[in-house]
Structure 1
Amino acid sequence: MAAMDTQEPPRSPTVAMGLAEADATMVVATSHGDCEKLKDLVHKQDPTTMLVVMASCKLQASPTEKSSRASMHPLVAAAACRGNLEELRFLLNRGRQSQTRMASGPEAGVTNILKQLNPTSTPDISQEFLNQATAYSWGNTTNTTSAMGQQATDAADVEQGGTNAVGGVTVEGDTVLHLVAANGEAQNFLDCADFSIHGLEKELLSKENNNGDTPLHFAARAGGTKMVSHLIALARARGDRIVRQLLRKVNKREETALHEAVRIGDGNIVKNLLEADRELACFPRNGGTSPLYLAISLGRHKTAKTLHDESGNGLLSYSGPNGQNALHAAVLQRPVLTRMVLEWNTNKDLTTKKDKNGRTPLHYAAGLLPVSQLSACSQALASIWGRQSVFSEVFNANTAAVYEPDNDGLYPIHVSASAGATDAIALIVKRCGGSAGLRDAKGRTFLHVAVGEKQLKIVRYACRNRSLAWILNMQDNNGNTALHLAVQDGSLRMFAALFGDRNVNLNLTNTKGETPLDISRYKLTRGTTFYYQTSEGTIYFALDFARALRSPYHRDHYYRHQNRGQQIDIEEKEMENMKDSTQSLCVGSVLIATVTFGATFTLPGGFIADDHANGGTPTLAPRYAFDAFMMANTLAFILSSAATVLLLRSGSPYPSIRSRSLFKNIAVKLVDVSVTCLVGAFALAVYVVLGPVARRTATAACVLSAIVVICNHADLWVPFAILEWAFFARYGTHPSLLMLLMWPFALVAPVMLFAFWPVLFSLLWAYFGRHNPIAVLKSFLGTLLHPLLS
């Protein structure tokens, strides 16, 4: 309540007549609490106080109160939903009579209603309805009095809010006509609609619920073609202006009834609405979601065509939410929609429109997933729909859009590189070659983006296209080339694609003074452990072998500064890696030890019976391969058990980080060797059993067992296979052959020799164990020196 004191307040001439001159206070009531205070002032017995009420108004309930309070009787709602005209007429007519008679006395109104509640006076009313009416206290005078009084009070409250007082509203603010329109379109529902308009209140046709929906919205949403036509006819009876107002009325989502018809895909309702108003497809006019945009975003081709064909003189809105238009939505759907929208938009202005992020439809088309990356089924559908032509359709409509950046400075070619759309980039480069060097806000070309997003196909395309050689060494705002980013990311395949192009400079420095070799060298020192099979190690080996240069910028100071700044982070990461790797390695080593322990006492071939000579000993013990099997199995058990012990030590928190790292590295090597021993033991056991009877099968099993060892060391030969062709492309035949020889002897051969030594040792042990070692050695030396001595 607000009070305002004035020195010379205005006085009403009528009130001031015959009264002494006195100061007055203006009191304005703005809420229920203020009304209570105003009531207290009226009851005060103060002869010197004059209260002047200058104006009065009805206080409307807040939207929250209106939406949370229902005044429609359940029987009225049930009759409207069933489309029962007799029950609806009875309830609403009697309800109005009861409200009228409540003024003279509620008992009289109730008595008259009770007299009419019998089957003889209401032959069209079912006994079930009468029972329901009795269940709602219509048969008890006292309860009926209070119920009808409350109904009249609720009706009065709702009437003050501007809603139908006779039928009331639901919790969502739906009137009787809303319920009728939403639940059917049979003749009985059409009759109920007529009764609601002509028998109750004409304004029900345009009444809105709490969401702003009219009965026409409800009818269109329910797919009631007849009901929509009937409501339009009822509105036309009141004039064409009323029809346009009804059709163009938008709800709180800024949608007309046409939007509801488009959403459910009912072409008949769409036609009926557009026939009634040819300009309806232009609404809303404030740039919201148009019916055409909604139809295209839902992929409804026929509905979109109906909107275009039925709209008069091309009066069709293409607008969408967040600044988008129908072409933005079309490029994400089937190509037929894209071609259709481009045909309608003759001046091609839709291709220049941007959404709230500054992206044109060409940005959207450039980000489509390439067909080559889709599944086989999706590729078949894409070939049928012409998915590959979506980008070309939009691009050919306006090639200048290629040079239009979004709010982040990304051009369509950057979006294509991020999505891996090689075909789109190829088309852009072919038609607009200069656009290949466009930079985003970070100074990146599309090649930088492709490397950052790990789009290998885009990188390979750029390296193989001779016309793009001029962008291979372009640097971003940090001075990084695409090669810098590939080395920093540690992607061997990405590095090999760039390294294999002779136009890529290996010695450019960025703003920090780092060359690709500097970055590669630094990545090797980023941990206390170095696993030589990593991609970082292979990249460094390739750059060093290619005689790439290091930066002259204080290398010792640089590395010392970097290591000192990263030391704490390095140790934390190393602890996490060690914790995870120790658990997995320990499981593997324990599994190998368990298998080899069981194989020791479950020997191939079984044992000799106790009643024979040497009873209890292995049956196949006299064979050479059996001795080799036992030695390989023993080595596998010993090495895996030793690895388990070391892994337990590396997982303990008491040793230093360097000691734990050393234990883990040794355990890794032992596990690798124990895997080789286990595979060798398996091959020898197969040979022992099958050798005498199926030598070829036994030999094949032994050879195939080597696949496990090869896969166990795949990180040695796979990088070599990836880099070999890159060396050949950059340096030609002779340096590549040199690398082909150096790689096995420098790295692969020592590792493989270390991995296979237990198998060689097992075979030699089996041989020397069955012969006199001295005699065997003399015989070997004699054979070797005989040509020299003779």
Structure 2
Amino acid sequence: MNSSTNIHDLLTAYGSHSCSDKGASMQKASDDVEALLNLPSGSTVSLLDGVTIEGGTALHVVATYGESDGFLRSADIIHSKANHLLFAHNKNGDTPLHCAARAGMSRMVRHLITLARDENTGVNRVKELLEVENSLKETALHQAVRIVNNDIVKLLMEENSELASFPKDGTSPLYLAILLEEDIIVETLYNASHMKLSYSGQNGQNALHAAVLRGTELTKKLLEWNSDLTTQRDENGSTPLHFAAALAQQSQRGSICWQVLEANSAALYQSDCNGLFPIHVAASVGESGTITMFLNKSPSSAGLQDSMGRTFLHVAAEKRKVRIVSSACRNRSLLWILNIQDNDGNTALHLAIQARSLRMFCALLGNRHTHLNLSNNIGQTPLDISLYGIPPGIFDDQISEAKIHFALTVVNARSGGSRRDHFEENYTRQLKYDETEQLEKAKEPTQTLCIGVALVATATFTVTFALPGGYKADEHINGGTPTLAGRYAFDAFIIASTFSFVLSVMAMVCTWC
């Protein structure tokens, strides 16, 4: 084992004491570490050259475990004999400053910064030390934010007001603080940086993406500080408005979505990598109030089509969002989008019938501007799709699919341009496919039913050998007969058990047949 593990083991041993004597234990540990570091120079150099299992040096260990005067003196001794350890990295890329900040050792953090400002040599490496990033591209400031220690955040920012701008292309301290919903630290970072800070976050997001998910107050602050964040996309192409559009109950004034939209209404016309606009996102999650707000702000956004040619009405029909479809059918200003066809040639009516939603179908059929005979790219009209939707072997005219087909027949809807024999071939093929699919779906519950009835039959059969109350002894009158025989409850039990056995056997036979 490497020699600096001695310090690590020493501090760990003292740190395992109970809370009542923890302070005294760590003070004793610091004294012992200091004594260990004051050994003759040859053995001390060997000690300082070693590393722990985590790759930490003696200074990493001292910086992590304490900030009493003894620990600070130990840090001084280590630095005087091996000043390069101040910038040494462990296996995670952390310097001693990272470790001290993560452990919440504010005195040690300040002391390490003082060591970087070596007054004896006149070399000032404070800026360099503070900007060192570990393997996750995080500085010591990230560690202070993560443990929610505003005092260390202030200390680090006072030493380097540009520290909140690191890293240049990763998760910024501000983004991290917003995710943690630490308003005070957010304010500290912004004020201490003199507005020179990074807004970047993970997966290409910025701080506004995170603020949108955390509440109105943080969103308001971010929009006041930098409204340009509204136009930036993450790695999926989503803007903060895409995120806001997916939130619930955002139609009221002052809501998160309303704030982002007011800051930049042009974000309505920015699509993500799948071609989805914010209005499509709102339709997908069923937020009719948000859609109404978007349409009031920009009526033309109703006709926005994604990469598959779908409007928000297509998306709502596919996702079975009945309220949105019904609302759109009652809105006279949206009549022009009712019959828009997507890349497959489907209108909202086609998709509502495919979704087998009677309520959406009725809403669309009830609008006289809905065209009933438009064919999609494979020549199917809504009437054709309604026939395909009727499950095989079902003749109940009360099911939704049958009602939809009947209603289209009554209003004289037409079939597509396919030859009748071709249509019937396709319909027969579809029926066979549906039957096969239904049989596959029925297999598992049937097997489960067989097991269940077999268990019931077995249990009821074995009851006859272990009747409640047992049997009379042979030396008694009618020996060997059930003790409870002749009683009403016993007779009812025997009759119920018999019926249970007979019916279970019948169920098994019927299932196998």
TM-score bracket, normalised by the shorter chain, equals: 0.7 to 0.9
- Aligned pair partner of 2:171 in 285, 289, 301: 289
Measured in 1, the distance between the counterparts of 2:510 and 2:362 equals 36
Give 3-state SS (helix, strand or coil) of 2:51's partner: coil
- Aligned pair partner of 1:183 in 45, 65, 68: 65
Q: CA deviation at 1:289?
A: 1.0
Q: What amino acid sits opposite 1:91 in the alignment?
A: L
Measured in 2, the distance between the counterparts of 1:181 and 1:99 equals 18
Q: CA deviation at 1:645?
A: 9.4
**Matching residue of 2:192:** 310
Superimposed CA distance per residue, residues 434-473 of structure 1 (whole angstroms, 9 cap, x where no aligned partner): 1110111101000101111122222122112211111111
Q: What amino acid sits opposite 1:480 in the alignment?
A: N
Q: CA deviation at 1:497?
A: 2.5
- Paired residues for 1:688-707 under 5 Å: none
Q: CA deviation at 1:493?
A: 2.3
Note if 1:263 corresponds to 2:146.
Answer: yes
Gap change, CA 1:369 and 1:86, over 3 Å in 2 = same
**Matching residue of 1:334:** 215
**Matching residue of 1:740:** none
Note if 1:469 corresponds to 2:335.
Answer: yes
Measured in 1, the distance between the counterparts of 2:196 and 2:190 equals 8
**Equivalent residues of 1:180, 1:193 under 8 A apart:** yes
Superimposed CA distance per residue, residues 262-282 of structure 1 (whole angstroms, 9 cap, x where no aligned partner): 111111111100101111111
**Equivalent residues of 1:367, 1:419 under 8 A apart:** yes
**Equivalent residues of 2:208, 2:240 under 8 A apart:** yes
**Equivalent residues of 2:34, 2:70 under 8 A apart:** no
Measured in 2, the distance between the counterparts of 1:401 and 1:290 equals 24
Measured in 2, the distance between the counterparts of 1:209 and 1:441 equals 48
Gap change, CA 1:206 and 1:586, over 3 Å in 2 = closer
Q: CA deviation at 1:422?
A: 1.7
Aligned residues: CA RMSD: 3.1
Superimposed CA distance per residue, residues 458-506 of structure 1 (whole angstroms, 9 cap, x where no aligned partner): 2122112211111111111111111111111112222223223222222
Note if 1:74 corresponds to 2:6.
Answer: yes
Q: What amino acid sits opposite 1:74 in the alignment?
A: N
Gap change, CA 1:319 and 1:533, over 3 Å in 2 = same
**Matching residue of 1:448:** 314
Superimposed CA distance per residue, residues 583-638 of structure 1 (whole angstroms, 9 cap, x where no aligned partner): 779999xx9xxxxxxxxxxxxxxxxxxxxxxxxxxxxxxxxxxxxxxxxxxxxxxx
Q: CA deviation at 1:539?
A: 1.7
Note if 1:498 corresponds to 2:364.
Answer: yes
Work out the number of aligned pairs and report it: 453
Superimposed CA distance per residue, residues 672-712 of structure 1 (whole angstroms, 9 cap, x where no aligned partner): xxxxxxxxxxxxxxxxxxxxxxxxxxxxxxxxxxxxxxxxx
**Matching residue of 1:621:** none
Superimposed CA distance per residue, residues 55-90 of structure 1 (whole angstroms, 9 cap, x where no aligned partner): xxxxxxxxxxxxxx6442435641486353432233
Q: CA deviation at 1:356?
A: 1.2
Gap change, CA 1:413 and 1:339, over 3 Å in 2 = same
Superimposed CA distance per residue, residues 330-364 of structure 1 (whole angstroms, 9 cap, x where no aligned partner): 1111111111011111xx32111111111111111
- Aligned pair partner of 1:551 in 410, 416, 435: 416
Give 3-state SS (helix, strand or coil) of 1:275's partner: helix
Q: Give TM-score scaled by structure 1 length.
A: 0.53
**Equivalent residues of 1:358, 1:405 under 8 A apart:** yes
Measured in 1, the distance between the counterparts of 2:341 and 2:375 equals 9
Q: What amino acid sits opposite 1:437 in the alignment?
A: G
**Equivalent residues of 1:527, 1:571 under 8 A apart:** no
Measured in 2, the distance between the counterparts of 1:98 and 1:511 equals 84
Superimposed CA distance per residue, residues 10-35 of structure 1 (whole angstroms, 9 cap, x where no aligned partner): xxxxxxxxxxxxxxxxxxxxxxxxxx
**Matching residue of 2:388:** 522
Measured in 2, the distance between the counterparts of 1:535 and 1:90 equals 85
**Matching residue of 1:202:** 83
Q: What amino acid sits opposite 1:574 in the alignment?
A: L
Note if 1:535 corresponds to 2:400.
Answer: yes
Measured in 2, the distance between the counterparts of 1:294 and 1:361 equals 16
**Matching residue of 2:479:** none
Note if 1:392 corresponds to 2:284.
Answer: no
Gap change, CA 1:324 and 1:411, over 3 Å in 2 = same
Gap change, CA 1:578 and 1:518, over 3 Å in 2 = farther
Measured in 2, the distance between the counterparts of 1:555 and 1:302 equals 72
**Equivalent residues of 2:48, 2:78 under 8 A apart:** no
**Matching residue of 1:364:** 243
**Matching residue of 1:651:** 511
Q: What amino acid sits opposite 1:652 in the alignment?
A: W
Gap change, CA 1:208 and 1:515, over 3 Å in 2 = same
**Matching residue of 2:34:** 89
Superimposed CA distance per residue, residues 227-279 of structure 1 (whole angstroms, 9 cap, x where no aligned partner): 21222222223457411011111111000000111111111111100101111
- Aligned pair partner of 1:460 in 323, 326, 340: 326
Measured in 2, the distance between the counterparts of 1:646 and 1:463 equals 53
Measured in 2, the distance between the counterparts of 1:486 and 1:646 equals 43
Q: CA deviation at 1:641?
A: 13
**Matching residue of 2:181:** 299
Q: CA deviation at 1:552?
A: 4.4
Measured in 2, the distance between the counterparts of 1:414 and 1:168 equals 59
Superimposed CA distance per residue, residues 126-157 of structure 1 (whole angstroms, 9 cap, x where no aligned partner): xxxxxxxxxxxxxxxxxxxxxxxxxxxxx5xx
Q: CA deviation at 1:402?
A: 1.0
**Matching residue of 2:465:** none
Note if 1:349 corresponds to 2:349.
Answer: no
Measured in 2, the distance between the counterparts of 1:359 and 1:186 equals 49
Gap change, CA 1:434 and 1:574, over 3 Å in 2 = same
**Equivalent residues of 1:77, 1:176 under 8 A apart:** no
**Equivalent residues of 2:353, 2:386 under 8 A apart:** yes
Q: CA deviation at 1:413?
A: 0.8
**Equivalent residues of 1:582, 1:647 under 8 A apart:** no
Q: CA deviation at 1:567?
A: 1.7
**Matching residue of 2:129:** 246
Quote the sequence identity (%): 47
**Equivalent residues of 1:528, 1:574 under 8 A apart:** no
- Which stretches in structure 1 are left out of the alignment for 5+ residues? 1-68, 101-154, 156-164, 373-382, 592-639, 654-790
- Paired residues for 1:718-729 under 5 Å: none
**Matching residue of 2:272:** 406
Q: CA deviation at 1:544?
A: 2.4
Superimposed CA distance per residue, residues 703-743 of structure 1 (whole angstroms, 9 cap, x where no aligned partner): xxxxxxxxxxxxxxxxxxxxxxxxxxxxxxxxxxxxxxxxx
**Equivalent residues of 1:96, 1:166 under 8 A apart:** no
Gap change, CA 1:76 and 1:417, over 3 Å in 2 = closer
Superimposed CA distance per residue, residues 198-238 of structure 1 (whole angstroms, 9 cap, x where no aligned partner): 3x322222221111111111111111222212222222234
Note if 1:215 corresponds to 2:96.
Answer: yes
Give 3-state SS (helix, strand or coil) of 1:252's partner: coil
Q: What amino acid sits opposite 1:548 in the alignment?
A: A
Superimposed CA distance per residue, residues 99-141 of structure 1 (whole angstroms, 9 cap, x where no aligned partner): 89xxxxxxxxxxxxxxxxxxxxxxxxxxxxxxxxxxxxxxxxx
Q: What amino acid sits opposite 2:114 in the alignment?
A: A
Measured in 1, the distance between the counterparts of 2:327 and 2:124 equals 63
**Equivalent residues of 1:167, 1:175 under 8 A apart:** yes
Q: CA deviation at 1:182?
A: 1.4
**Equivalent residues of 1:70, 1:173 under 8 A apart:** no
Q: Give TM-score scaled by structure 2 length.
A: 0.81
Note if 1:227 corresponds to 2:108.
Answer: yes
Superimposed CA distance per residue, residues 737-781 of structure 1 (whole angstroms, 9 cap, x where no aligned partner): xxxxxxxxxxxxxxxxxxxxxxxxxxxxxxxxxxxxxxxxxxxxx
**Equivalent residues of 1:578, 1:651 under 8 A apart:** no
Gap change, CA 1:568 and 1:541, over 3 Å in 2 = closer
Q: What amino acid sits opposite 2:356 in the alignment?
A: G
Measured in 2, the distance between the counterparts of 1:424 and 1:242 equals 53
Larger radius of gyration: 1
- Which stretches in structure 2 are left out of the alignment for 5+ residues? 16-25, 457-499
Gap change, CA 1:195 and 1:296, over 3 Å in 2 = same
Give 3-state SS (helix, strand or coil) of 1:94's partner: coil
**Equivalent residues of 1:451, 1:485 under 8 A apart:** yes
